[in-house]
Amino acid sequence: MQLISHEPPPEPQNGERTPDLQEVEEALQSLQIGSDNAALSTLAEGSKAYPDVRARLATPDVLRTLVEAAECGLNDSLETTSAALRCIGNACVDNDVARDTIAGLGFSWAVLCLRHDNEEINWLTIKVLYNICSDHEAAQLQCYRDRVHVPLISLCGSPHALQSRDTGTLIDLLFWITGHKVTIQNNDTDLLLDESVLELLMLPYYYHNIATAEDFAILLEICLSFLRDPSVQRQVVKSGYVACVWQMFVGCEHRMGHCRAGEDAQETKELLKPLSTSLIWCLSDIAASEDFTQQYPPSSAFIERLLSLFASGVEEPGTKSKDAIEEAGLGARQLTKAHTIQNENASYLIERRSARSIAAACQIVGNMLRVLPPQDITPLVMTRKIHAKLWHILAEPDYADDDDDVPHSFAGFLVQLTRPSVEVRECLAEGVEAQDALRVLCEHKTPQIRQDGTRLLRALGKECPVNQGRFRSLAARMAGWSGGRTGMQVEAAPA
C-alpha cells in the first residue's frame, strides 16, 4: 500500500526536516529488527507529521517490530530505542486498535526502558505510555499486570522528576495504572518489595511543597490504593514504615491549611479532607494488625510521641522541633534517591497538635490498647492524664461542627481507657469538662456520635456509683429521649 496524502508537508520545527512521503515509504519497506537509525528516525518524524504514516505504523506486524527494535536498542543503540519509542507513541495517538495491539503484546519493553539509566529514555517511555494508556482501560490494566507501576514509583521520587515540568504526566499515568489494583486478585506476585513500598509512601512528602493541590491529591489516592490492602498494611507494620503513613496524614492536614498561590482555600480543603479521613482509617486498620504491638510496643518512640500529643501545653522537655515521628520518616527517606534535594525543615507543629491529628492518634493508640492488659492502661489515666485534653477539646463549643471524625475517635478511645478499674473510671470522669464533653456527645446532631456518647456514658458508669451520681441527670435525659433506660448501671466496660 502506497502512502497518499493530499496535504502539503508541515513546516519544519526546531530545525528538523520533515521527510517526504517517498522517504517514509522507503523507510517502511526497510523496517526490520536492527533497522538502521536513519530509517527509524525517518518513520518517527514522518509519523509525527502525517496521519497516513501513523496508520501504517499501527498495524500489528509493524508495532511488534517496533517493540522489538526498542528492546534491542537498549543494548545496541539508544538512538534506535528512542526512534522506535516515538514511532510507537505516534501510532497510538487516538488509535484504540493500535493501543489494543500494544496491550496484547505486553509491556515488558516499557519496564526495561523505565529501568534504564538513561533519563531521556525514561521520560520518553513515560510520554509514550501516556499516549497508550490515556482513556484506554485495557492498556492500563495490562500495565498493572506487567508491574509498570514499580519503576514509575521509583522515577516519581527521583531528583529529575521533582524538578521536571512533565511530572504531572508521570503522576497521571501512575494514577491510571495503580487504579487497577482493586481489579487484580491479591497474590504474592501483586506485592511490592519493601523498598518500593517505602518509595511510594514518601512521594507525598517529596511533593508536599511543589505539587498543585490536584497532583498532591492524586499522589495520596495512589498511596491509598495500596494502603487499603490488608497485605500492604501488614507489610508496612513489619517493615517499620507506619511513621511514614503518619507523616503523610500530617502533611495532608498541613496542605489543607497552606494553599499555594492561586489555589482556592475552600476547594483545597474539600479536595483533601476526604483523603485525610481515609488516612485516619488506614492508620486505624494498620494499628489493628496483630503484629503492630510487636513492632511498636508502648515504650517505642513512635507510640510515646503519639501519647505526647494528648499532653496539654508545649512539647515535653527534651524533645526537638522535629519529633520522633517525623524523624522516623526522614530516616527511612535516606534509602531513596530524592534525599539530595528535598527540604527537611518542615515541623508541622500546629497540625501535629490539631484535633484531627489527636483523633488519628486515638485510632492508633486505641487499637493498641485493645490488646494491652488493663494494668498497662492504668498509668495512662492515673498518672499521665491523657484523657484531659480530649475532654477539653470536646467541651469547647462548636469545636468541630463539620467534622465527625474527631468526636467519634475521641469517644472510642475514652471507652478503651475505662477498662482497668472503677478507680480509673472515677478518675476519667473528674471535672466539669468531662460532664460538658459528655453532654456534647450525647446531644450531638449526628446519630452515630450520640450513640458513641451513650456507649461512653455506660462504660463510665459500669459498677461505679460515683460516676452514676455524676451523670444521673444526663442519663435520665438520654433515657427520656430514647424512651427507656440508658443502661449505664449495668453496661460492662469493654473487655
Residue 490 pLDDT exceeds 70: no
Q: pLDDT tens digit string along 367-418?
A: 999 999 999 999 999 999 999 999 999 998 666 556 889 999 999 999 999 9
What percent of the chain clears pLDDT 90, i.e. is strictly above it? 62
Q: State the sign of the Cα–Cα–Cα–Cα dihedral 112, 169, 278, 387.
A: positive
List the alpha helices (DSSP H) in 8-77. 21-29, 37-49, 51-57, 60-76
By mean pLDDT, which of 151-165, 290-304, 306-320, 401-415 is the weakest?
Answer: 306-320
Q: What is the pTM of this model?
A: 0.86
Cα dihedral 365, 368, 372, 374 in deg (nearest 10): 40
Span 453-480, average pLDDT = 89
Q: Higher pLDDT residue, 124 or 401? A: 124
Give the pLDDT score at 458.
94
What percent of the chain clears pLDDT 70, i.e. is strictly above it? 82
Residue 486 pLDDT exceeds 80: no
How large is the angle between the packed helices 242-257 and 194-207, nearest 10 degrees?
A: 20
List the alpha helices (DSSP H) in 116-229. 119-133, 137-145, 149-156, 159-163, 167-178, 194-207, 213-227
Give the pLDDT score at 403.
82
Burial 466-483 (b: 16+ CB within 10 A, else e): ebbebbeebbeebeeeee
Give the pLDDT score at 4.
38
Residue 284 pLDDT exceeds 70: yes
Q: pLDDT tens digit string along 186-204?
A: 666 678 999 999 999 999 9
The torsion angles phi and psi of 215, rounded to 5 degrees, stand at -65, -40
Residue 21 pLDDT exceeds 70: yes
By mean pLDDT, which of 224-233, 249-258, 276-285, 323-332 is the weakest?
Answer: 323-332
**Distance separating alpha carbons of residues 250 and 254, to the nearest angstrom:** 6
**Distance separating alpha carbons of residues 190 and 356, to the nearest angstrom:** 33
Span 214-231, average pLDDT = 96
Q: How confident is the model at residue 5 (pLDDT cuts 50, 70, 90)?
A: very low
Cα dihedral 116, 120, 122, 128 in deg (nearest 10): -130
The torsion angles phi and psi of 302, rounded to 5 degrees, stand at -65, -50
Q: pLDDT tens digit string along 256-267?
A: 888 888 889 999
Q: How confident is the model at residue 209 (pLDDT cuts 50, 70, 90)?
A: confident
Residue 325 pLDDT exceeds 80: no
Across all residues in the chain, what is the average pLDDT?
84
The torsion angles phi and psi of 272, rounded to 5 degrees, stand at -95, -25
Cell of 293: 504491638
Nearest to 113 by CA among 83, 140, 81, 84: 81
- Three-state secondary-structure class, residue 455: helix
Give the pLDDT score at 337.
39
How far lies 233's CA from each of 110, 180, 197, in Å? 29, 18, 10
Q: pLDDT tens digit string along 138-183?
A: 999 999 999 999 999 999 999 889 889 999 999 999 999 999 998 8
Give the pLDDT score at 350.
52
Span 78-99, average pLDDT = 95
In eight-state DSSP terms, residue 181 is: G
Assess contact for 63 and 57: CB atoms under 8 A: yes
- Three-state secondary-structure class, residue 12: coil
In this structure, the number of other CB atoms found within 10 A of the CB of residue 94 comes to 11
Give the pLDDT score at 317.
39
Q: Which residue has the cell 477539646?
A: 393
